[in-house]
């Protein structure tokens, strides 16, 4: 069972809004993540190899947020709130805890726009609140000139193959289910799309795989696809580089030499690889008429 902790703050103001995620604020209702993605950037000794074993619930999150949002609203400091930047807002025990839902109720109360980023299908439970937020939220003045949407729903994928996902993101909702949830979000007329982050070299970023993904996302109603290559950090037993290389060696032994060449002395792919990758992404985006940004 996850531990309960008392947090000093819950609403984090970003220094600069990210062009991809449009985050003026971020909220992480949980500490740690039971989806246990091997490539996650928050991995390390703090959470250990099995991140689900060190989960924490911020018990006072709702009370804190009520005070913080009230203050921001009073000062007319409206902006997009991203759930979540360091964990998923819809971990398995959110079904019972309902902290994310209670947070959304406050976001609606104080009329803030919101961007939901998830690898789960549980977001459908909160479509009712998201519809109300989309009707009533106040957009920051600069974004009000670019969009009328006050809710964005982004689904994260590193592959469409359930078997691949079971290896690299073992606790997350299977991609096949996620894809159906993307379709549902689109049918509800939310401005929805995909975070293709991170792509797995020679596994999910092959030409065939990428065409399958872009085609599936387009058919499912995605408005945008935001792709990124993988970065891997650390050499400890619970670091992302160690865990991903171990998984590749076990399940894709023919690729391990390539991965070791890329990441033995680096945390990111070489510039020539990234250059080719993003060139391909632009071509696919144009072909399938999918933007590479939300706006």
3 state DSSP class of 266: coil
Q: What is the fold, at CATH topology level, of the domain defined by 3-288?
A: pyruvate-formate lyase- activating enzyme (3.80.30)
How does strand 225-229 pair with strand 191-199? parallel
pTM confidence score: 0.95
Structure-model confidence comparison of residues 86 and 47, the more confident one:
86
Distance CA 216, CA 209 (A): 11
6-17: pLDDT as tens digits: 888 899 999 999
> pLDDT category, 31, cuts 50, 70, 90?
confident
CA atoms within 13 A on the CB side of 255: 17
Distance CA 223, CA 291 (A): 7
Closest CA to 144 of 192, 83, 79: 79
**DSSP alpha helices (H): ranges in 57-206?**
61-74, 94-97, 99-109, 127-136, 141-144, 162-168, 175-187
Structure-model confidence comparison of residues 106 and 5, the more confident one:
106
Residues in the chain: 295
Q: Where are the domains of the chain?
A: 3-288
Closest CA to 80 of 8, 3, 132, 133: 133
pLDDT at residue 32, rounded to an integer: 79
Q: Is 159 left (phi over 0), alpha (psi -120 to 50) or beta?
A: beta
250-280: pLDDT as tens digits: 999 999 999 999 998 999 999 999 999 999 9
């Amino acid at each position: 069972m996850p531990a309960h902790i008392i947090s000093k703050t819950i609403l984090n103001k970003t220094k600069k809004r990210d062009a991809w995620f449009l985050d003026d604020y971020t909220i992480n209702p949980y500490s740690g993540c039971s989806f246990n993605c091997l490539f996650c950037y928050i991995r390390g000794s703090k959470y250990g190899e099995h991140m689900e074993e060190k989960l924490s619930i911020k018990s006072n999150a709702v009370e804190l947020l009520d005070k913080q949002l009230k203050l921001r609203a009073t000062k007319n400091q409206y902006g997009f709130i991203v759930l979540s930047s360091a964990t998923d807002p819809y971990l398995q025990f959110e079904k019972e805890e309902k902290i994310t839902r209670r947070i959304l109720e406050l976001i609606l109360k104080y009329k803030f726009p919101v961007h939901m980023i998830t690898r789960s299908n549980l977001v459908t439970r909160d479509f009712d609140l998201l519809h109300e937020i989309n009707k009533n939220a106040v957009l920051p003045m600069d974004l009000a000139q670019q969009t009328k949407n006050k809710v964005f729903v982004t689904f994260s994928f590193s592959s469409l193959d359930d078997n691949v996902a079971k290896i690299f993101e073992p606790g997350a909702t299977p991609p096949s289910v996620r894809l159906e949830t993307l379709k549902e979000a689109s049918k509800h007329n939310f401005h929805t799309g995909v975070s293709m982050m991170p792509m797995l070299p020679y596994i999910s970023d092959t030409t065939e795989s990428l065409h399958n993904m872009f085609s599936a996302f387009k058919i499912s109603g995605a408005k945008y696809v935001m792709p990124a290559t993988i970065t891997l950090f650390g050499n400890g037993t619970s670091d992302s580089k160690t865990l991903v290389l171990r998984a590749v060696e076990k399940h894709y032994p023919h690729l391990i030499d390539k991965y070791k060449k890329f990441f033995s002395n680096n945390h990111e792919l070489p510039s020539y690889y990234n250059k080719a990758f993003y060139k391909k992404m632009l071509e696919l985006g144009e072909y399938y008429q999918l933007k590479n940004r939300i706006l």
